[in-house]
């Protein structure tokens, strides 16, 4: 789980346009459930920002927390 979270964080930091759960799942060859769980953890830790686009949620790395 920790390794998956690290992969997700690296990708979020690299892409300023953000990712949906489906996009990260396909890009990293992880299940949607695994990606969703990792993003929920990061959301709770206030490490990601979320923007709704229709039915989708787009996740961005939160640069305001000092971890660029």
Domain contains 68: no
Q: Does 16 map to a domain?
A: yes
Question: Range of 50's domain?
Answer: 2-63
Q: Each residue of 6-60: pLDDT tens digit?
A: 999 999 999 999 999 999 999 999 999 999 999 999 999 999 999 999 999 999 9
CATH of residue 9's domain is: 1.10.10.10
pLDDT, tens digit, 9 for 90 and up, residues 43-53: 999 999 999 99
Counting the structural domains of the chain, the total is 1
pTM, to two decimals:
0.87
How far apart are the C-alpha atoms of 57 and 68, rounded to whole Å?
A: 22
């Amino acid at each position: 789980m920790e390794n998956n979270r690290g992969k997700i964080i690296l990708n979020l930091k690299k892409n300023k346009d953000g990712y949906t759960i489906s996009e990260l799942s396909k890009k990293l060859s992880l299940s949607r459930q695994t990606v969703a769980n990792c993003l929920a953890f990061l959301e709770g830790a206030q490490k990601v920002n979320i923007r709704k686009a229709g039915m989708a949620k787009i996740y961005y790395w939160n640069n305001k927390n000092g971890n660029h």
